[in-house]
Structure 1
Amino acid sequence: MKWILALTAAAGVLIAGILAYVFLVLAPGLPALDAVTDYQPKIPLRIYTADNALIGEFGEEHRDFVPIKDIPAVMKNALLSIEDARFYEHHGVDFIGATRALLADLGGGFHQGASTITMQVARNFFLTQEKTLNRKAKEILLTFRIESALTKDQILELYMNQIYLGQRTHGFSSAARTYFGKSLDQLTIAEAAMLAGIPQNPVRHNPAVNPQRAKERQILVLKSMLKKGVITEAQYDQASKEHLTITGRQQFDSHADYVAEMVRQQIVAEYKDAAYTSGIKVYTTLLKADQDAAYEAVRKNILIYDQRHGYRGPEVFIRLPQNEDERDDAIDEVLRQHPANDKLLAAVVTESSPKLIKAELASGESIEISGDGLRFAAGALQSNAKSDLKIVPGAVIRIIQDSKKHWGVTQLPEVEGAYVALDASTGAYRALVGGFDFNRKKFNHVTSGWRQPGSSIKPFIYSAALEKGFTPATLINDVQLSATSEEALRWDPRNDDGKYDGPITMRTALAQSKNVVSVRILKSIGINTAYQWLPRFGFSKDKQPDNLTMALGTGSVTPLQLASAYAVFANGGYQVTPWLISKITDAKGKVLKEFPTPSAGTEETRVIDARNAFVTDSMLREVTRSGTGAAASVRLNRHDLAGKTGTSSEAVDGWFAGYAVNIVAVAWMGYDDPKSLGSREFGATLALPIWIDSMRVSLNGKPEIQRPVPDGISNAEGDWMYTEFLNGAGIKTLDIDTTSVTSP
């Protein structure tokens, strides 16, 4: 009896000691619950188009905050069935499970499964992951405090938005986008079960990294859901067999990486580090359809150009070991170093012949390429092909699927391209593609690529000439300067096609892009006249030559600057300032800043006379009707297009700048290390196809518009001219010196 009393007393002392330790030592040192009672999740900066398509996200943690009422039942049921089936019944701690966990601790183990949702919230918000009794006791105390401070729904809401789910992703909403490219409300039972299986071990059960283990865990979740009665047997059978397409990458609604980076820089400059964590949302002026079309057009036409100029060979060669495991490791390693470039996938060749290539992809899939899929690289499959060109086992090649799901050999292009579209009236960006691929080259060619504009500068020289009495009907002699000058010329410019037509109208000269005529016009009006005229359109004086080569575009412009300049002709004579951001909100949708659409066409922004804009526009329309840009009118089946091709010296740059309705756009192609694009390449073959493919979408459904004739011009003898240059007998005769020229 005495030993029982002694044991009871000892137990009482031990319990009293434990309680004293818990309430006098541990409890006072527990952190405040502000982190959960005033939950402020780290939500990244997100950037959208004007029509709410997500185009960029920046922050250390990928997270959406979704209120518990908006989380679909299938996601909640999947999670609770595997993590805490009695969540709404217990008071934070499952004592049976907790006792089991403590015993496991004493035995040197730790049973994670005993943790309830609330205990996980306590651990994730306030504690380390160390497996000690001290930490476990703190966790239980915090669990009770959380249960008394928050409702069950509030606790579950915290958990489902905060929990780490792999791939830098926090919360189930962000995980749904990362792994499946879907919003939470679009998830199937199978997908919800896959996500619900991740929290126990985000590394082991990450479906992008360990698909087999993730699948095994998903089946356990589905079985638990069936056992709990939240799905039927038929739903279980269907979900367990459903094939899931898993990406494991951030999914955006549109390809606009260059725009997203432009916005990021601006927002971070203003909001500093808070930009990455406070849930700021930025709405741009881009239109999703226009942006998608521009992205596809740039990539498609760059690849078409690249294929016109031949196959350059595999990206690299590796030795394929005989041992199967070692071979798989070697393939995995090299393909990690050569990631997919959108639809251009890297593959390691395992067998090759002139009629068949077998290769393996990063996904582990084995593919075969034959027939037309080999045509581009046919020379590299011949026995006498050069070693650096030849496709052999161990070669890393690029492949792409056509519309019929057939594989073909391709390659990453070396050439670059760019496209930008603006609202010609307001300057709002509608589309911007700064290069072939942002992840390869982050240099934004639209805003920072200073290149020679070639003939795309000519309309501005012609515009200046209109103010000196020239008209579209004015005749200029299209012959080499050396043919009409007795001077010894250091510079004797030629027409690109080597053809000279004698006296032709200024309208025809612009349509056919006659170099010699442009130089003669510049000589006649005076270099300084044009030099002072160009800044009206936003061109930088210090980027333009003050000699006759100005007429051939030997200065420097960016695609954005050129688009803004052409907008002046498109909108009737007004300068526009490109603008990108329309609204900035906080995480709850409260507007932090709003930028109203600028007023279109105010007298303060007028830079050329309405007459000048109209007459120049009429000549630019001729370019797309009968001149170097005629393919645009044919392929788009429109009669209201205006624009100009441009090819710089030696075909280093190819351009097309043009507009219709209220959209002005510029396309460019060239090498970052300037070199010729080819002796048979011109703006019409390089940039115009990009412009056409992009504008086809931008102009879809928009009716053709005829511009009203402004006051002060007349149609005399079949063409437009200022009325002030008319006399009683008809067109005023101009004294145009076309017989001599000063060398630049």
Structure 2
Amino acid sequence: MFSFKRLIKFGLLMGLLGIIALITLYLTMRDDLPSVESLKNLQWQTPMQIYSNDGKLMSQFGEKKRIPLALEEMPQQLIDAILATEDDRFYQHFGIDPVGLTRAVIGQIIGQNKGGGSTITMQVARNFFLTREVTYVRKLREIFISFHIENLLTKDEILALYMNKIPLGHRSYGFGAAAQVYYGKEVHELTLAQIAVLAGLPKAPSTLNPIRSPKRAKARRSVVLQRMLAKNYITPQEYQEAMAAPITGKRHGAEIELNAPYLAEMAHQEMLQRYGREQAYTGGYKVFTTVPSKLQKAAQHAVVTNLMAYDQRHGYRGVIRSLRNENNNKPDAVTGEYSKPLTPEEIDQALNIKGYQSLEPAIVTGVFEQSVAIALKNEQQATIDWPGLSWAREYISDQKQGPAPQTAADILNYGDVVWVLKQEDDSFALSQIPQVSGALVSISPDDGAIKAAVGGFSFNQSQFNRVTQAKRQVGSNIKPFIYSAALENGFTLASIINDAPINQWDRSSGVVWRPKNSPPTYVGPIRIRLALAQSKNVISVRLLREVGLGKIIDHLSLFGFVPDELPRNETLALGSASLTPLEVASGFATFANGGFLIQPYLIDRIEDSFGNIVFQASPAVACDPCQPGDMMGSLSAATQTAQAPEEPDSNGLAQTGLTTDKVAPPLNQAERVISKQNAFLMTEALNSAIWGYDWSTKPGWQGTGFRAKTLKRRDIAGKTGTTNESKDAWFSGYSRRLVTTSWIGFDDHTRNLGKTAYNKNLGKSQVYGIEAGAKSAQPAWITYMDTALEDLEIEPFLPPEDVVSVRIDKATGKLSSKADKTSLFEYFENGTAPTEYVTLDKSREILDGNEDEEIDEELF
């Protein structure tokens, strides 16, 4: 009895000494303990997300995947699973569980790890403020910080912190992100079996997750379910059903609603410049771009289909690989069986190829007269019929193709691994990855908001964004700016210039410079409107000479083109300047908006992780004068009554809801760089490039952009462009509310776009001949604008004040009193209209002189 009392006293003394030691340690370490006040106003480190203008997620950037959720947003079963597994006395203890801690200490003393030492509060302390090093000092600091947390926060707040902070593998932090990563679901969509898998992850997320080790994940899930059953959180029936469920976890990325990687990367780079890498990736920013998802999808479809069409008409370059050589791929004449049939293992291995866009790999498993059987991934079987094969004549060079195939055996053999494309009717067609590149960008001329941007065929194939990074020679896309300078220096749309060959001796090079029209036909005196519509090269050179190179460069700089980057010689008139598609589109926007220089921009607004707007774009707007809410350009301002011209019959385009950017008053007015009269007259001339024609007198003529007539919209204007040797092809055009530039060419500057011969398998609707702006770039523009114009009502290109319309003689540009085919109405700025009437009856049509289908080809 005496010894027992002494033992009690000794125990009390040791306990007292332990408490004193603990208090001493706390007082010693107190100043070094981190403040937990930051937990009250915690800003979660969440990835940066890029959205379209209409809220479609395009991409996510950042190392940590987190979807912060309030505790009430967590399913109760998930909360129960966490409490049962990690800390079943969480709501009873004061941050430290004496029972669990004692069990853990005893386990350490006797050499058995009993676990259970860390409460949820202690894990919060460790995850927010400490490392995971295994030392007694760290454990003590963890305990002391837990006391502070319990004094500062409620139990629900602590649990919410834990469930959002805990690392759960595959860069997911918190259960909101884990549900998305492992199951592609939101937490409220999870089954009990899936909840149990996630609740088991905190112990060892790298080894217990269902992606790395389904067996371990299943065993851990069993432990979680057993504890939930023991705590009466679930019924025996629920337990049995969850235990029997399969392990279904697999890696899921963010649920991308609009796959637009070139566009997302543009916004990503701007965010890095704006905030720096660390803040941009962890600040939880939601970046809303100016791009409507409908227009972006239309642009991507237009570019991809155009590149594939170009690539296919130049011929088939062959299979990815062949699993059988030609000597072994012939079927037995009697049985029809192949001597070395493909094995399932061979097929699976050969199809383990990453696809591009809509292209997917396939293996030829049978070759028939005019069809082939193919095997695809997931044991799919399909057939490619002759319409999906007949295009595939042999590619010889960019200039030459082989003969049209007659049978499927002319193209493919048994065991060939090929690219195929699933078409809209669910049939398959043989295809290939285009070697040619392309780009398309569309902007609002009102304020520069980017409405669509596609920088190539596939971001996975090449991350080089040709919208902003590819400076290519612009060819005849430069001519509208040359002609605009001419209008500013005494010329009118009715001015007569001699369309005749130019021969000029160049002393520096010792050669004669002979710029040529394409096709090389010349008609003598021609009006400026017709010269631009038909893209007459020598006229552009003559105008540059008349105005002067210095004045031309100064004028071009008004459209945002950098003077030091423009060639200071006469080749400038033919498009030797190198510009990006975005720069070209921005220049054309000045014509569309009535004379204002706008700056393209992509980010409309940025929200922080709490939904607060931290940035709102305030672009300069094309308006004069600017009123709050006014997005109208000067072309639709005050107008002068004038008779509409007979050539061409211009209507126009109306304002729509396309431009949805919120611009708060007062409006930031864009700089006017050319007069509204100049912009209108140029738009009229560019309308003629599409709608201008005259077949009343042979030979007739039509504008180089005539293919855009298929849109059945007279409220559009545009210009083709092709460089020397057809290395680059362009089409830039616009309606009143949308400007779009399309480009196509090879990244390898030594290759040109070449030409194609007629393929007798494809019929009359096929494109063939020399590649140029109208054939190679304009189809993408037309395809895109066909969708983009759907929501745009007609808004006329109305003449502004100080513009008059008078009847002129077609041949001389002088005034005419006749009302027959020798005359037409033309627009003039006040004071520039002709004053002299034509007196001699020598009127004639000033025509191109070319009647064939190559009228749209221009090689400069």
Q: TM-score range by the shorter chain?
A: 0.7 to 0.9
Task: Call closer, same or farther: CA 1:293–1:556 in 2, change over 3 Å.
Answer: same
Question: Match of 2:479?
Answer: 458
Structure 2 residue 261 is the aligned partner of structure 1 residue 171: no
> Residue 152 of structure 1: CA displacement?
1.8
Task: Call closer, same or farther: CA 1:728–1:299 in 2, change over 3 Å.
Answer: closer
Deviates more, 1:685-694 or 1:453-462: 685-694
Deviates more, 1:164-173 or 1:80-89: 80-89
> Residue 415 of structure 1: CA displacement?
2.7
Q: Which amino acid aligns with 1:620?
A: L
| Structure 1 residues 277-288: aligned runs within 5 Å | 277-288=282-293
Task: Call closer, same or farther: CA 1:297–1:727 in 2, change over 3 Å.
Answer: closer
Task: Call closer, same or farther: CA 1:318–1:471 in 2, change over 3 Å.
Answer: same
| Deviation string, structure 1 residues 249-281 (Cα, Å, up to 9, x no partner) | 344443444444444444444544433333344
| Corresponding residue SS for 2:621 | coil
Task: Call closer, same or farther: CA 1:474–1:385 in 2, change over 3 Å.
Answer: same
Structure-2 separation of matches of 1:164 and 1:528: 64
| Deviation string, structure 1 residues 583-641 (Cα, Å, up to 9, x no partner) | 4454434444444242323487222222221121112122233533333341x442212
Question: Match of 2:159?
Answer: 156
Structure-2 separation of matches of 1:471 and 1:249: 59
Question: Match of 2:671?
Answer: 605
> Residue 116 of structure 1: CA displacement?
4.4
Task: Call closer, same or farther: CA 1:371–1:437 in 2, change over 3 Å.
Answer: closer
Structure-1 separation of matches of 2:385 and 2:96: 65
Question: Match of 2:708?
Answer: 632
CA contact (8 A) 1:77 1:230 kept: no
Structure-1 separation of matches of 2:223 and 2:365: 40
> Residue 69 of structure 1: CA displacement?
3.9
Structure 2 residue 646 is the aligned partner of structure 1 residue 556: no
| Deviation string, structure 1 residues 143-194 (Cα, Å, up to 9, x no partner) | 4543343212111221122122323222233344545556556667676566
Question: Match of 2:742?
Answer: 667
Task: Call closer, same or farther: CA 1:240–1:470 in 2, change over 3 Å.
Answer: farther
| Deviation string, structure 1 residues 494-537 (Cα, Å, up to 9, x no partner) | 44345555655443433333334434444454444433322222
Task: Call closer, same or farther: CA 1:637–1:163 in 2, change over 3 Å.
Answer: farther
Q: How many residues align?
A: 715
Task: Call closer, same or farther: CA 1:206–1:673 in 2, change over 3 Å.
Answer: farther
Aligned partner (choices 763, 775, 780) of residue 690 of structure 1: 780
CA contact (8 A) 1:105 1:133 kept: no
Structure-1 separation of matches of 2:132 and 2:526: 83
| Structure 1 residues 116-135: aligned runs within 5 Å | 116-130=119-133
Structure-1 separation of matches of 2:779 and 2:182: 36
CA contact (8 A) 1:52 1:283 kept: yes
Larger helix proportion of the pair: 1
Structure-2 separation of matches of 1:654 and 1:562: 13
CA contact (8 A) 2:312 2:392 kept: no
Aligned partner (choices 590, 596, 600) of residue 578 of structure 1: 600
Q: TM-score, normalised by structure 2?
A: 0.70
Structure-2 separation of matches of 1:97 and 1:732: 112
Q: Which amino acid aligns with 2:451?
A: R
Question: Match of 1:322?
Answer: none
CA contact (8 A) 1:456 1:656 kept: yes
> Residue 343 of structure 1: CA displacement?
4.9
Structure 2 residue 296 is the aligned partner of structure 1 residue 303: no
Structure 2 residue 825 is the aligned partner of structure 1 residue 721: no
| Corresponding residue SS for 1:572 | coil
| Structure 1 residues 332-411: aligned runs within 5 Å | 341=356, 343-344=358-359, 355-358=372-375, 365-368=378-381, 370-372=383-385, 375=389, 401-403=422-424, 410-411=431-432
Structure-2 separation of matches of 1:177 and 1:345: 27
Q: Which amino acid aligns with 1:630?
A: F
Task: Call closer, same or farther: CA 1:10–1:296 in 2, change over 3 Å.
Answer: farther
CA contact (8 A) 2:101 2:116 kept: no
Structure-2 separation of matches of 1:342 and 1:224: 48
Task: Call closer, same or farther: CA 1:132–1:643 in 2, change over 3 Å.
Answer: same
> Residue 458 of structure 1: CA displacement?
1.6
Structure-2 separation of matches of 1:231 and 1:629: 73
Structure-2 separation of matches of 1:77 and 1:415: 57
| Corresponding residue SS for 1:431 | strand
Question: Match of 1:59?
Answer: 62
Structure-1 separation of matches of 2:298 and 2:752: 27
Which sections of structure 2, spanning at least 5 residues, go unmatched? 325-344, 396-404, 505-509, 626-669, 693-702, 756-769, 808-824, 841-846, 848-859
Structure-2 separation of matches of 1:281 and 1:622: 44
Aligned partner (choices 685, 702, 723) of residue 619 of structure 1: 685
Structure-1 separation of matches of 2:216 and 2:786: 47
| Corresponding residue SS for 2:721 | strand
CA contact (8 A) 2:103 2:115 kept: no
Structure-1 separation of matches of 2:568 and 2:420: 48
| Corresponding residue SS for 1:578 | coil
| Corresponding residue SS for 1:147 | helix
CA contact (8 A) 2:316 2:432 kept: yes
Question: Match of 1:707?
Answer: 797
Deviates more, 1:416-425 or 1:198-207: 198-207
> Residue 480 of structure 1: CA displacement?
4.3
CA contact (8 A) 1:178 1:251 kept: no
Structure-1 separation of matches of 2:461 and 2:730: 23
CA contact (8 A) 1:654 1:686 kept: yes
CA contact (8 A) 2:560 2:583 kept: yes
Q: Which amino acid aligns with 1:641?
A: I
Which sections of structure 1, spanning at least 5 residues, go unmatched? 320-326, 739-743
Structure-2 separation of matches of 1:716 and 1:72: 76
Structure-1 separation of matches of 2:567 and 2:720: 20
| Deviation string, structure 1 residues 347-402 (Cα, Å, up to 9, x no partner) | 8x697878445466xxxx4554642598488989999999xx99958x7x656554
CA contact (8 A) 1:255 1:291 kept: no
Task: Call closer, same or farther: CA 1:73–1:229 in 2, change over 3 Å.
Answer: closer
What fraction of aligned residue pairs are identical, expressed as a percent?
A: 37
Q: TM-score, normalised by structure 1?
A: 0.80
Q: Which amino acid aligns with 1:632?
A: A
Structure-1 separation of matches of 2:53 and 2:408: 55
| Structure 1 residues 29-68: aligned runs within 5 Å | 29=29, 31-34=33-36, 36-68=39-71
> Residue 721 of structure 1: CA displacement?
2.7
Structure-2 separation of matches of 1:438 and 1:662: 29
Structure 2 residue 28 is the aligned partner of structure 1 residue 25: no
Structure-2 separation of matches of 1:234 and 1:448: 58
| Deviation string, structure 1 residues 196-243 (Cα, Å, up to 9, x no partner) | 454343223445555676577668767877885569969996998699
CA contact (8 A) 1:27 1:138 kept: no
| Structure 1 residues 197-596: aligned runs within 5 Å | 197-210=200-213, 228=232, 247-272=251-276, 273-313=278-318, 341=356, 343-344=358-359, 355-358=372-375, 365-368=378-381, 370-372=383-385, 375=389, 401-403=422-424, 410-438=431-459, 440-474=461-495, 476=497, 478=499, 480-481=501-502, 490-498=512-520, 504-596=526-618
> Residue 81 of structure 1: CA displacement?
5.8
> Residue 138 of structure 1: CA displacement?
5.6
Q: Which amino acid aligns with 1:254?
A: L
Structure-1 separation of matches of 2:112 and 2:519: 83
Structure-1 separation of matches of 2:355 and 2:110: 48
CA contact (8 A) 1:511 1:619 kept: yes
CA contact (8 A) 1:472 1:505 kept: yes
